[in-house]
Structure 1
Protein backbone atom coordinates (compact mmCIF):
# COMPACT_ATOMS: atom_id res chain seq x y z
CA UNK A 1 0.00 0.00 0.00
CA UNK A 2 1.42 3.39 -0.93
CA UNK A 3 2.09 6.03 1.70
CA UNK A 4 -0.45 8.41 0.11
CA UNK A 5 -3.28 5.91 0.57
CA UNK A 6 -2.34 4.86 4.11
CA UNK A 7 -3.92 7.93 5.90
CA UNK A 8 -7.14 7.42 3.90
CA UNK A 9 -7.15 3.76 4.90
CA UNK A 10 -6.72 4.70 8.58
CA UNK A 11 -9.53 7.27 8.33
CA UNK A 12 -11.80 4.66 6.72
CA UNK A 13 -11.01 2.13 9.50
CA UNK A 14 -11.65 4.73 12.22
CA UNK A 15 -15.03 5.63 10.69
CA UNK A 16 -15.96 1.96 10.37
CA UNK A 17 -15.13 1.35 14.05
CA UNK A 18 -17.08 4.46 15.08
CA UNK A 19 -20.20 3.31 13.19
CA UNK A 20 -19.98 -0.10 14.88
CA UNK A 21 -19.62 1.42 18.36
CA UNK A 22 -22.28 4.15 18.18
CA UNK A 23 -25.62 3.23 19.76
CA UNK A 24 -28.47 2.55 17.36
CA UNK A 25 -30.27 5.77 18.35
CA UNK A 26 -27.32 7.87 17.17
CA UNK A 27 -27.45 6.16 13.77
CA UNK A 28 -31.20 6.36 13.08
CA UNK A 29 -32.09 10.04 13.23
CA UNK A 30 -34.70 11.45 12.74
CA UNK A 31 -36.61 10.18 15.75
CA UNK A 32 -39.50 7.77 15.38
CA UNK A 33 -42.94 9.30 15.87
CA UNK A 34 -45.65 8.28 18.32
CA UNK A 35 -49.40 8.68 17.80
CA UNK A 36 -52.44 7.73 19.90
CA UNK A 37 -55.21 6.10 17.84
CA UNK A 38 -58.48 6.61 19.76
CA UNK A 39 -61.33 4.10 19.80
CA UNK A 40 -63.72 6.74 18.41
CA UNK A 41 -63.35 10.15 16.82
CA UNK A 42 -65.34 13.29 17.58
CA UNK A 43 -69.10 13.30 17.25
CA UNK A 44 -72.10 15.40 18.29
CA UNK A 45 -71.88 13.84 21.76
CA UNK A 46 -68.14 14.23 22.20
CA UNK A 47 -66.29 17.12 20.55
CA UNK A 48 -62.95 15.41 21.23
CA UNK A 49 -61.62 12.08 20.06
CA UNK A 50 -62.89 9.48 22.51
CA UNK A 51 -61.31 6.54 24.24
CA UNK A 52 -63.84 4.03 25.53
CA UNK A 53 -62.78 1.98 28.53
CA UNK A 54 -63.76 -1.14 30.30
CA UNK A 55 -61.59 -4.06 31.27
CA UNK A 56 -61.59 -5.53 27.76
CA UNK A 57 -61.61 -2.52 25.37
CA UNK A 58 -58.31 -1.28 24.05
CA UNK A 59 -56.94 1.49 21.89
CA UNK A 60 -53.68 1.75 19.97
CA UNK A 61 -50.47 3.72 20.05
CA UNK A 62 -48.58 3.77 16.76
CA UNK A 63 -44.77 4.10 16.67
CA UNK A 64 -43.55 4.92 13.15
CA UNK A 65 -39.95 4.60 11.98
CA UNK A 66 -39.33 7.87 10.12
CA UNK A 67 -35.63 7.17 9.54
CA UNK A 68 -34.03 5.74 6.42
CA UNK A 69 -32.59 2.79 8.37
CA UNK A 70 -34.26 -0.08 10.23
CA UNK A 71 -34.59 0.32 14.00
CA UNK A 72 -34.81 -2.36 16.67
CA UNK A 73 -37.21 -2.16 19.59
CA UNK A 74 -37.33 -4.37 22.65
CA UNK A 75 -40.43 -6.58 22.55
CA UNK A 76 -43.08 -5.89 25.20
CA UNK A 77 -43.26 -9.44 26.59
CA UNK A 78 -39.96 -8.96 28.47
CA UNK A 79 -38.88 -6.46 31.14
CA UNK A 80 -36.60 -4.67 28.66
CA UNK A 81 -39.56 -3.41 26.58
CA UNK A 82 -42.53 -3.82 28.93
CA UNK A 83 -42.04 -0.51 30.74
CA UNK A 84 -41.22 1.56 27.63
CA UNK A 85 -44.71 2.99 27.05
CA UNK A 86 -46.33 5.37 29.52
CA UNK A 87 -48.91 8.18 29.43
CA UNK A 88 -49.37 11.65 30.85
CA UNK A 89 -52.94 12.76 31.50
CA UNK A 90 -53.90 16.34 32.38
CA UNK A 91 -57.32 16.88 33.95
CA UNK A 92 -59.32 20.14 33.74
CA UNK A 93 -58.88 20.66 37.51
CA UNK A 94 -55.10 20.98 37.01
CA UNK A 95 -54.06 17.49 38.09
CA UNK A 96 -51.45 15.68 36.02
CA UNK A 97 -51.26 11.89 36.28
CA UNK A 98 -48.36 9.87 34.90
CA UNK A 99 -49.49 6.31 34.09
CA UNK A 100 -46.69 3.74 34.21
CA UNK A 101 -46.89 -0.02 34.28
CA UNK A 102 -46.82 -1.72 37.67
CA UNK A 103 -43.80 -3.83 38.57
CA UNK A 104 -44.32 -7.52 37.92
CA UNK A 105 -42.46 -10.81 38.04
CA UNK A 106 -41.04 -12.60 35.01
CA UNK A 107 -41.08 -16.38 34.38
CA UNK A 108 -38.88 -15.87 31.32
CA UNK A 109 -36.95 -12.71 30.65
CA UNK A 110 -34.33 -11.96 28.04
CA UNK A 111 -33.79 -9.02 25.68
CA UNK A 112 -35.57 -9.95 22.44
CA UNK A 113 -36.22 -7.39 19.73
CA UNK A 114 -38.41 -6.61 16.76
CA UNK A 115 -37.06 -4.75 13.70
CA UNK A 116 -39.07 -1.89 12.22
CA UNK A 117 -38.11 -1.13 8.62
CA UNK A 118 -37.93 2.47 7.30
CA UNK A 119 -41.46 3.82 7.04
CA UNK A 120 -42.74 0.83 9.04
CA UNK A 121 -44.56 0.89 12.33
CA UNK A 122 -45.14 -0.92 15.60
CA UNK A 123 -48.62 -1.02 17.15
CA UNK A 124 -49.05 -1.04 20.93
CA UNK A 125 -52.40 -2.48 22.04
CA UNK A 126 -53.31 -0.58 25.20
CA UNK A 127 -55.91 -1.16 27.88
CA UNK A 128 -55.85 0.84 31.10
CA UNK A 129 -56.65 -2.16 33.29
CA UNK A 130 -55.85 -1.30 36.94
CA UNK A 131 -53.94 -4.58 37.33
CA UNK A 132 -51.39 -3.39 34.77
CA UNK A 133 -51.09 0.36 35.39
CA UNK A 134 -50.14 2.48 38.39
CA UNK A 135 -52.52 5.44 38.86
CA UNK A 136 -55.08 3.83 36.57
CA UNK A 137 -57.67 6.26 35.26
CA UNK A 138 -60.28 3.55 35.72
CA UNK A 139 -60.25 4.61 39.37
CA UNK A 140 -61.83 7.90 38.21
CA UNK A 141 -65.59 8.15 37.72
CA UNK A 142 -66.72 9.61 34.40
CA UNK A 143 -69.50 12.17 34.38
CA UNK A 144 -72.62 12.04 32.26
CA UNK A 145 -70.65 13.45 29.33
CA UNK A 146 -67.47 11.47 29.96
CA UNK A 147 -64.28 12.85 31.41
CA UNK A 148 -62.50 15.39 29.22
CA UNK A 149 -58.74 15.64 29.59
CA UNK A 150 -55.54 15.98 27.62
CA UNK A 151 -53.27 13.00 27.07
CA UNK A 152 -50.00 12.13 25.42
CA UNK A 153 -48.15 8.85 25.02
CA UNK A 154 -44.47 8.60 25.94
CA UNK A 155 -42.07 5.90 24.75
CA UNK A 156 -38.72 5.82 26.52
CA UNK A 157 -35.91 3.27 26.47
CA UNK A 158 -32.68 3.99 28.33
CA UNK A 159 -29.32 3.17 26.86
CA UNK A 160 -27.72 0.33 28.78
CA UNK A 161 -25.57 -2.72 28.15
CA UNK A 162 -28.48 -4.74 26.71
CA UNK A 163 -29.70 -1.94 24.45
CA UNK A 164 -26.18 -1.50 23.05
CA UNK A 165 -25.69 -5.26 22.57
CA UNK A 166 -29.04 -5.63 20.75
CA UNK A 167 -28.60 -2.32 18.86
CA UNK A 168 -31.96 -1.13 20.18
CA UNK A 169 -33.27 2.37 19.57
CA UNK A 170 -32.90 4.40 22.79
CA UNK A 171 -34.25 7.76 23.79
CA UNK A 172 -37.61 9.34 24.54
CA UNK A 173 -40.37 10.33 22.14
CA UNK A 174 -43.79 11.78 22.90
CA UNK A 175 -47.01 11.95 20.94
CA UNK A 176 -48.74 15.25 20.43
CA UNK A 177 -50.79 16.15 23.52
CA UNK A 178 -54.45 16.15 22.49
CA UNK A 179 -57.89 16.48 24.06
CA UNK A 180 -59.76 13.21 24.64
CA UNK A 181 -63.01 12.27 26.29
CA UNK A 182 -62.82 9.11 28.38
CA UNK A 183 -66.00 7.04 28.52
CA UNK A 184 -67.04 3.93 30.37
CA UNK A 185 -65.33 3.95 33.73
Structure 2
Protein backbone atom coordinates (compact mmCIF):
# COMPACT_ATOMS: atom_id res chain seq x y z
CA UNK A 1 0.00 0.00 0.00
CA UNK A 2 1.41 3.36 -1.00
CA UNK A 3 1.52 6.16 1.51
CA UNK A 4 -0.34 9.34 0.57
CA UNK A 5 2.02 12.18 -0.32
CA UNK A 6 2.98 14.44 2.54
CA UNK A 7 1.52 17.93 2.07
CA UNK A 8 1.05 21.00 4.19
CA UNK A 9 -2.63 20.12 4.48
CA UNK A 10 -1.95 16.57 5.62
CA UNK A 11 0.45 17.89 8.29
CA UNK A 12 -2.20 20.38 9.47
CA UNK A 13 -4.87 17.68 9.54
CA UNK A 14 -2.70 15.32 11.60
CA UNK A 15 -1.77 18.15 13.96
CA UNK A 16 -5.43 19.12 14.31
CA UNK A 17 -6.44 15.59 15.25
CA UNK A 18 -3.66 15.22 17.81
CA UNK A 19 -4.11 18.71 19.28
CA UNK A 20 -7.83 17.98 19.69
CA UNK A 21 -7.11 14.64 21.39
CA UNK A 22 -4.09 15.56 23.51
CA UNK A 23 -3.84 19.33 23.55
CA UNK A 24 -1.19 21.51 21.95
CA UNK A 25 1.27 21.08 24.81
CA UNK A 26 0.55 17.36 25.02
CA UNK A 27 1.50 16.75 21.39
CA UNK A 28 5.09 16.42 20.20
CA UNK A 29 6.16 16.97 16.61
CA UNK A 30 7.43 13.40 16.63
CA UNK A 31 3.84 12.23 17.28
CA UNK A 32 2.55 14.23 14.33
CA UNK A 33 5.28 12.68 12.19
CA UNK A 34 4.42 9.19 13.47
CA UNK A 35 0.74 9.73 12.62
CA UNK A 36 1.83 10.52 9.06
CA UNK A 37 4.34 7.65 8.96
CA UNK A 38 7.27 9.99 8.26
CA UNK A 39 10.36 11.09 10.14
CA UNK A 40 10.12 14.33 12.11
CA UNK A 41 12.57 16.28 9.90
CA UNK A 42 10.24 15.69 6.93
CA UNK A 43 7.64 17.92 8.59
CA UNK A 44 9.90 20.95 8.22
CA UNK A 45 9.35 20.90 4.47
CA UNK A 46 5.74 21.86 5.23
CA UNK A 47 5.94 24.02 8.38
CA UNK A 48 8.35 26.07 10.44
CA UNK A 49 7.26 25.01 13.91
CA UNK A 50 4.54 23.42 16.01
CA UNK A 51 3.50 26.94 16.99
CA UNK A 52 2.98 27.81 13.33
CA UNK A 53 0.67 24.80 13.00
CA UNK A 54 -1.41 25.97 15.96
CA UNK A 55 -1.53 29.55 14.68
CA UNK A 56 -2.67 28.42 11.22
CA UNK A 57 -5.38 26.17 12.66
CA UNK A 58 -6.69 28.82 15.05
CA UNK A 59 -6.62 31.57 12.42
CA UNK A 60 -8.48 29.44 9.86
CA UNK A 61 -11.10 28.52 12.42
CA UNK A 62 -11.82 31.95 13.89
CA UNK A 63 -11.80 33.51 10.43
CA UNK A 64 -14.24 30.83 9.28
CA UNK A 65 -16.54 31.55 12.22
CA UNK A 66 -16.61 35.25 11.34
CA UNK A 67 -17.19 34.52 7.65
CA UNK A 68 -20.06 32.17 8.54
CA UNK A 69 -21.54 34.81 10.85
CA UNK A 70 -21.46 37.55 8.23
CA UNK A 71 -22.81 35.28 5.51
CA UNK A 72 -25.70 34.36 7.82
CA UNK A 73 -26.66 37.84 9.03
CA UNK A 74 -25.48 40.46 6.54
CA UNK A 75 -28.41 41.87 4.60
CA UNK A 76 -30.95 40.76 7.22
CA UNK A 77 -32.61 43.54 9.21
CA UNK A 78 -34.96 41.84 11.65
CA UNK A 79 -33.12 41.02 14.93
CA UNK A 80 -35.06 37.77 15.37
CA UNK A 81 -34.15 36.63 11.86
CA UNK A 82 -30.52 37.67 12.39
CA UNK A 83 -30.21 35.86 15.75
CA UNK A 84 -31.91 32.78 14.32
CA UNK A 85 -29.42 32.53 11.43
CA UNK A 86 -26.38 33.54 13.50
CA UNK A 87 -27.09 30.80 16.04
CA UNK A 88 -28.01 28.23 13.42
CA UNK A 89 -24.69 28.59 11.62
CA UNK A 90 -22.64 28.75 14.85
CA UNK A 91 -24.27 25.66 16.35
CA UNK A 92 -23.92 23.71 13.12
CA UNK A 93 -20.23 24.65 12.84
CA UNK A 94 -19.59 23.19 16.30
CA UNK A 95 -21.23 19.93 15.27
CA UNK A 96 -19.34 19.68 11.98
CA UNK A 97 -15.95 21.17 13.00
CA UNK A 98 -15.48 19.63 16.42
CA UNK A 99 -11.71 19.22 16.34
CA UNK A 100 -11.24 22.86 15.37
CA UNK A 101 -13.61 24.07 18.09
CA UNK A 102 -11.86 22.04 20.78
CA UNK A 103 -8.42 23.29 19.75
CA UNK A 104 -9.46 26.94 19.49
CA UNK A 105 -11.31 26.95 22.79
CA UNK A 106 -8.58 25.14 24.69
CA UNK A 107 -5.31 26.14 23.03
CA UNK A 108 -5.61 29.71 21.70
CA UNK A 109 -3.99 30.88 24.93
CA UNK A 110 -0.88 28.90 23.97
CA UNK A 111 -0.18 31.18 21.02
CA UNK A 112 2.70 33.62 21.36
CA UNK A 113 2.10 37.34 21.05
CA UNK A 114 1.08 39.12 18.91
CA UNK A 115 -0.79 36.10 17.49
CA UNK A 116 -2.71 35.40 20.70
CA UNK A 117 -4.13 38.92 20.89
CA UNK A 118 -4.96 38.99 17.18
CA UNK A 119 -6.91 35.73 17.44
CA UNK A 120 -8.67 36.88 20.62
CA UNK A 121 -9.66 40.08 18.80
CA UNK A 122 -11.24 38.02 16.01
CA UNK A 123 -13.11 35.92 18.55
CA UNK A 124 -14.32 39.10 20.28
CA UNK A 125 -15.54 40.46 16.95
CA UNK A 126 -17.90 37.48 16.70
CA UNK A 127 -19.05 37.90 20.30
CA UNK A 128 -19.67 41.61 19.81
CA UNK A 129 -21.58 40.96 16.59
CA UNK A 130 -23.86 38.48 18.32
CA UNK A 131 -24.32 40.83 21.27
CA UNK A 132 -25.22 43.71 18.97
CA UNK A 133 -28.00 41.62 17.42
CA UNK A 134 -29.42 41.06 20.89
CA UNK A 135 -29.08 44.76 21.78
CA UNK A 136 -30.94 45.64 18.58
CA UNK A 137 -33.65 43.13 19.43
CA UNK A 138 -34.10 44.59 22.92
CA UNK A 139 -34.27 48.15 21.52
CA UNK A 140 -36.85 47.05 18.96
CA UNK A 141 -38.94 45.35 21.64
CA UNK A 142 -38.40 41.94 20.01
CA UNK A 143 -36.30 40.47 22.83
CA UNK A 144 -36.87 40.57 26.57
CA UNK A 145 -33.51 40.16 28.27
CA UNK A 146 -31.87 42.29 30.97
CA UNK A 147 -28.27 41.70 29.90
CA UNK A 148 -27.49 41.29 26.20
CA UNK A 149 -23.87 40.55 27.17
CA UNK A 150 -24.87 37.61 29.38
CA UNK A 151 -27.37 36.38 26.79
CA UNK A 152 -24.74 36.40 24.02
CA UNK A 153 -22.27 34.66 26.32
CA UNK A 154 -24.84 31.99 27.19
CA UNK A 155 -25.68 31.38 23.53
CA UNK A 156 -22.05 31.15 22.48
CA UNK A 157 -21.09 28.84 25.35
CA UNK A 158 -24.11 26.64 24.69
CA UNK A 159 -23.06 26.25 21.04
CA UNK A 160 -19.38 25.70 21.90
CA UNK A 161 -20.39 22.78 24.13
CA UNK A 162 -21.71 20.90 21.09
CA UNK A 163 -18.14 20.09 20.05
CA UNK A 164 -17.59 18.20 23.31
CA UNK A 165 -20.55 15.83 23.08
CA UNK A 166 -21.72 15.60 19.46
CA UNK A 167 -20.93 12.39 17.57
CA UNK A 168 -21.42 11.71 13.86
CA UNK A 169 -22.93 8.32 14.69
CA UNK A 170 -25.21 9.73 17.41
CA UNK A 171 -29.00 9.81 17.42
CA UNK A 172 -29.26 13.35 15.97
CA UNK A 173 -27.52 14.98 13.06
CA UNK A 174 -25.85 18.40 12.90
CA UNK A 175 -28.84 20.09 11.26
CA UNK A 176 -31.26 18.93 13.95
CA UNK A 177 -28.84 19.96 16.71
CA UNK A 178 -28.43 23.38 15.09
CA UNK A 179 -32.21 23.85 14.79
CA UNK A 180 -32.87 22.89 18.40
CA UNK A 181 -30.02 25.01 19.76
CA UNK A 182 -31.38 27.93 17.77
CA UNK A 183 -34.72 27.48 19.53
CA UNK A 184 -32.88 27.43 22.88
CA UNK A 185 -31.13 30.68 21.92
CA UNK A 186 -34.45 32.33 21.14
CA UNK A 187 -35.75 31.22 24.53
CA UNK A 188 -32.70 32.81 26.19
CA UNK A 189 -33.65 36.20 24.71
CA UNK A 190 -37.31 35.79 25.68
CA UNK A 191 -38.82 34.80 22.33
CA UNK A 192 -39.49 31.08 22.58
CA UNK A 193 -40.36 28.88 19.67
CA UNK A 194 -41.02 30.43 16.26
For the pair shown, the structure with the greater C-alpha radius of gyration is: 1
TM-score (normalised: structure 2): 0.26
- Greater helix percent: which structure? 2
TM-score (normalised: structure 1): 0.27
